[in-house]
Structure 1
């Protein structure tokens, strides 16, 4: 779905340092890993981690995605009370405002790697029998997965089926390989 002019949201902080946005991605993970060393209070650690996760979720969803890759997603409730998910990507002409190719790759790498860490934390929490931490790691997994899912839907198109996209990609790759082999003498 292309960006709709009636729903343009003003971009802010385009001249701000993108490094600050990337640092927020790892803060909750570091606090989770170092919590036993830094503090003995479970409640204080839990609240700190959930606040950091929430700040990271909001920053990635509302700021980083727009600035670094030109994508955004949100939920909209219409006049009838029905909920609709909206997934947008900017036209190529708007991508001039987005960050460099390297920053875009860092954004996608962080978006993919962080849910993997939280999945590992879920399993390590279960296997180490630290069940009190299970709610925290599941919250981390859910928030990171929601951003990943939202941005993948924005990238491939809000209404397209991810399975069809994967089939088309594999078909194109097989076709390219066959063309390369047929071009060789």
Structure 2
């Protein structure tokens, strides 16, 4: 019978650095900017809630629409200046050259940069789902208002049943 030497020089090494990969995945799945994630969704969801519940709180169509527009403006500013950069590494602005021509500059983090490793998968999902799901809801609301013939902006605001 052959006996194996108990002082083997081999050690268990994970294949393709699986341990490191799982620890990185746990770090990446955490939300690193909870305040930015909160405000990314807050303005969008509040605008939808105000749209759905505005008739219960106010009879003024103008007040409801102004509130919704202000909330969506805050959402736009937040996405452009804060959450786009923190959560997924996007940045954009308008540049006007010497000739007076307007140029839009779009930037994103390079996949190989050390900053791109700081992007959390959970934050990325929150950002893109919020960015896509809310406009889809607005399109559904627009079609439902159009097909239910509750197009408020065509009426004079007075009840004309009398």
- Per the normalisation by structure 2, the TM-score is 0.67
The answer on 1:93 being equivalent to 2:111 is no
Q: 1:74 aligns with which of 65, 68, 93?
A: 93
Equivalent in the alignment of 2:157: none
Q: Which residue of structure 2 aligns with residue 44 of structure 1?
A: 63
Change (3 A) 1:15 1:107: closer
Alignment correspondent of 1:145: none
Deviation >4 Å, runs of 4+: none
Shift of 1:128: 2.0
Quote the Cα distance in structure 1 between the aligned partners of 2:128 and 2:82.
Answer: 14
Aligned counterparts of 2:33 and 2:143: Cα–Cα separation in 1: 40
Q: Give ranges in structure 2 of 5+ residues lacking alignment.
A: 1-31, 155-162
Q: Where does 1:28-177 land on structure 2 (aligned, <5 Å)?
A: 28-91=47-110, 92-98=113-119, 100-133=120-153
Supply the distance in 1 between the matched residues of 2:91 and 2:152 (Cα, whole angstroms): 34
Deviation at 1:119, TM superposition (A): 0.7
Give the helix-richer structure, 1 or 2: 1
2:35 aligned to which of 11, 17, 24: 17
Looking at structure 2, the residues matched to 123 and 65 of structure 1 have their Cα atoms a distance apart, in angstroms, of 29
Could you tell me how far 1:97 is from its partner in structure 2?
A: 4.8
Residues in 1 aligned to 2:76 and 2:116: alpha-carbon distance in whole angstroms? 23
Q: How many residues align?
A: 120
The two structures have a TM-score, normalised by structure 1, of 0.59
Residue in 2 that maps onto 1:26: 45
CA–CA separation in structure 1 for the residues paired with 2:56 and 2:153: 15
Q: Distance in 2 between matches of 1:54 and 1:20?
A: 13
